[in-house]
Amino acid sequence: MTQFLFFSGKGGVGKTSMACATAVHHADAGQRTLIVTTDPASNLADVFEQPIGHQITAITGVPNLSAMEIDPDRATIEYKERALAPLRSLFPEQMVKVVEEQMSGPCTSEVAAFDRFTDFLDLPSNGEPPFDVIVFDTAPTGHTLRLIELPAEWARSIEESEHGSGQTCIGPAAAIQESKHKYERAVARMRDPEQTRFVFVLLPEATSIKETQRATEELRKLDIHTHELIVNGVIPQTEAANALMAQRIVMQAGYLAQIAGQLPLPARRMPQFSGEIKGVARLRIVASHLFEDAPSESFGLNQSFAGPVTATPAEWPDEDVRARLLPDAGRRTIFFAGKGGVGKTAASSITAVWAARHGYRTLLLTTDPASHLGDVLGVPVGDTVAPVNGVPNLWATNIDPKAAAGVYRARILDDARDRGRAPEAIAVMEEELNSPCTEEMAAFDQFIDFASQEDWEVVVFDTAPTGHTLRLLELPMDWSQQIDVKVFATVDGAAADDMAKQRFESVINMMRDPEQSTFAFVTYPEATPIVEAHRASGELKTLGIETGLIYANFILPPEQCTTEFTRARRAMQEQYLAEIGTRFAVPVVEIPLLPYEVKGIDVLSMLGDQLYGVPEVQMA
């Protein structure tokens, strides 16, 4: 019987490294093992240091181990062909073309990647399964929970469509009937404790603990109960001799006690290393600790970083950075993007607090399902715009897809009724709007609203991790082709489409104009977040959007590097800071590693002054 292992957690906690080490361990034990990533911004190839892609690929040097990176675009093509193939022999080409157009929206892309994911859970119950162990390296928690909720939601949506119009936004209900059964089987497998385990990777930090607590509770609501923990990034006690690390060890000790008390689950600990976890040899060392409790001194990972520093980031005047953050006239919109866990929320909060203290009416919002704005600001942040206590001129909100979906459905249906549409047409629209993809449409709609508002002088977006951010930013282009087909077809297609396209074009032009918008990538000085930021920057360029700033986070101050461990990490960081300088021809803002977490208005204000300079207009 195949075992399914899901690795989940907040972005940047080391899910991929732990999932890869676990897969290597099972393969070395003689089990036929597959590791699959569902993260749109996959790092499997980076960790294994070989090409993988959208096909099952053997891992060099590890017999019994294969890997696959699900490509949403390739999955979409495959999904549409499977759904349309039965129709081609039954209906005229023109009718098939209409169905194909209905399946050309972003909604289909989401379900296609999900459908490919469920293929691996839907192994035949009789005969020899192709794998003994399947490891899922998932996207950050909020998106993973969404993925796991989808089987039940799509099964329900397909069933409702069978009794209604017979058409769903992912194809005709009759053509995807087998998908419904597949999704139901996938849910049953995930709920089976004999087959499935969820491994939550977390750091000894407040936001990571909170997200793990939320995720385990959400899984319990889905009747999934088999959980365990890997607490990653624990600073070795030997580093207590270093002043900076000693303070962070004390901070971590409190959180380790909190994890033991509030998350009473089987748990393993993994220390922080001075080097990166990349390549099969290092993965085997990590696996030996995870499964054999090898002592940390045997790791061979705490070594000096090899390689000369070949370049340094170019020096940019502070004025160049400030010019990309503040409006010259009108409004400035700043998008913070990057891999999960790089510190986007901290960087965006620092910037928003600084701009508000500069005297600009500033809105800070997040499109990340696992929002931590309130944790970083130290004040509650809800799904309506509200002032931030202690910072005049600053307002904040969290785009909640579920809350937004209710408002969005009501608005579309009320508009249809006001236009005098027939009850039958309203019923068809309501059926379409009850599909799971409406949440994404609604979050996008709110994004457009905020991006269009004239009330703000500075708007700061704390975005979801890279793959999901790119998807959000591509939505205006995709959706403008789909509005009349998907939602407004039964209202007043031409008028609604014209109105929507005008609205979208205004936002698209704003995003492409460097005088109005700045796209900032947050990274830290290691290979995978830099490579991911560079890839994403290239994708944005294809949309006509240029990268304006790079933030390098968690930088060890040179004067604090007094031990072999910290000196080795600093040497590694200098090498990667040099690489950032060669990859990105834009200003680089360095955020230092502090002895404590970046949270609270006082800390955010201090860092803002340090990074950008003291505001000319100090607010009381």
The residues carrying an active-site annotation are 12, 14-17, 39, 528
DSSP 557-573: PGGG--SHHHHHHHHHH
Compute the distance between CA of residue 308 and CA of residue 312 in angstroms, rounded to an integer.
Answer: 11
Per-residue tokens: 377: 């600001």
Residue in 439, 438, 413 with CA at minimum distance from that of residue 428: 413
Q: How many CB atoms sit inside 10 A of residue 143's CB?
A: 23
Residue in 526, 508, 506 with CA at minimum distance from that of residue 569: 526
Cβ atoms of 408 and 435 closer than 8 Å: no
Q: Phi-psi bin for 363: left (phi > 0), alpha (psi -120 to 50), beta?
A: beta
Compute the distance between CA of residue 432 and CA of residue 346 in angstroms, rounded to an integer.
Answer: 38
Burial environment of residue 574 by CB neighbours within 10 A (0 to 12, 13 to 18, 19 or more): middle
The CA-to-CA distance between both ends of the chain, in Å, stands at 65
Compute the distance between CA of residue 476 and CA of residue 511 in angstroms, rounded to an integer.
Answer: 11
Cβ atoms of 79 and 108 closer than 8 Å: yes
Residue in 60, 1, 3, 64 with CA at minimum distance from that of residue 31: 64
Scored b (16 or more CB within 10 A) or e, 585-609 reads: ebbbbbbbbbeebbbbbebbbebbe
Cβ atoms of 364 and 462 closer than 8 Å: yes
Cβ atoms of 225 and 219 closer than 8 Å: yes
Cβ atoms of 475 and 47 closer than 8 Å: no
Q: How many CB atoms sit inside 10 A of residue 231's CB?
A: 25
Query: For residue 458, how many C-alpha atoms fall within 13 Å in the half-sphere facing its CB?
Result: 29
Task: Encode 94-131 in three state secondary structure.
Answer: HHHHHHHHHCCCHHHHHHHHHHHHHHHHCCCCCCCCCC
Compute the distance between CA of residue 168 and CA of residue 159 in angstroms, rounded to an integer.
Answer: 10
Burial environment of residue 220 by CB neighbours within 10 A (0 to 12, 13 to 18, 19 or more): exposed
The answer to whether the Cα torsion of 130, 135, 139, 143 is positive or negative is positive
Strands in 196-202's sheet, in edge-to-edge order, are: 57-58, 65-69, 33-37, 133-137, 3-8, 196-202, 227-234, 267-271
Q: Count of residues for the chain? A: 620
Compute the distance between CA of residue 605 and CA of residue 603 in angstroms, rounded to an integer.
Answer: 5
Residue in 433, 436, 440 with CA at minimum distance from that of residue 416: 433
